[in-house]
């Protein structure tokens, strides 16, 4: 087993999941924001993507954080005629962010991050054990 390759693959997963968690946190933080102008568009949910890359120095396939794409689903409309962001008919557009979906995605990203941490830890233990065997 190639320890460096294993660590490189796990590290790429850590970077990708950290980026995913940043995007999800931004979505959650803006879940209740409205437009700055009457009838304007509020925050639009962002969707993180991943892409496969090849690390040529290690000849390993790694994951990379890809582009962040806007979610094109409809905004939520609420009738609030007194709101500063209300349009002429009294409707306010709220972001297309569903907190339950974001929390589920965050939990999944967290578990993937933890799985990569476990790979790094296991690889580290194998390296330490190999060194101990070589010393004996």
Encode pLDDT of 27-78 as tens digits.
999 999 999 888 889 999 999 999 999 989 888 899 999 999 999 999 999 9
pTM of the predicted model over 0.85:
yes
Burial class (CB in 10 A: 0-12, 13-18, 19+), 120: middle
Average pLDDT, the chain: 94
- Torsion angle in degrees (nearest 10) through CA of 97, 100, 101, 107: 130
Question: Does residue 2 carry a pLDDT above 90?
Answer: no
**Phi, psi (deg, nearest 5) at residue 131:** -65, -40
Residue 37 confidence (pLDDT)? 87
Q: Provide the sign of the torsion angle of the four alpha carbons 93, 96, 102, 104, taken in this order.
A: positive
Residue 65 confidence (pLDDT)? 96
**Mean pLDDT computed over 6-25:** 96
Residue 48's beta-bridge partner residues?
68
Question: Does residue 1 carry a pLDDT above 80?
Answer: no
């Amino acid at each position: 087993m190639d320890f460096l390759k294993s660590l490189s693959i796990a590290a790429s997963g850590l970077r990708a999941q950290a980026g995913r968690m940043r995007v999800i946190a931004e979505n959650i933080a803006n879940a209740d924001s409205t437009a700055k102008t009457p009838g304007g568009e509020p925050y639009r949910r962002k969707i993180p993507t991943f892409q496969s890359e090849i690390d040529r120095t290690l000849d390993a396939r790694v994951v990379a954080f890809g582009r962040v794409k806007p979610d094109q689903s409809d905004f939520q409309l609420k009738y609030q005629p007194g709101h500063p962001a209300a349009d002429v008919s009294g409707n306010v557009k709220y972001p297309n962010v569903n907190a339950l979906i974001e929390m589920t995605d965050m939990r999944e990203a967290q578990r993937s991050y933890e799985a990569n941490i476990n790979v790094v830890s296991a690889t580290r233990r194998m390296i330490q054990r190999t060194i101990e065997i070589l010393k004996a």
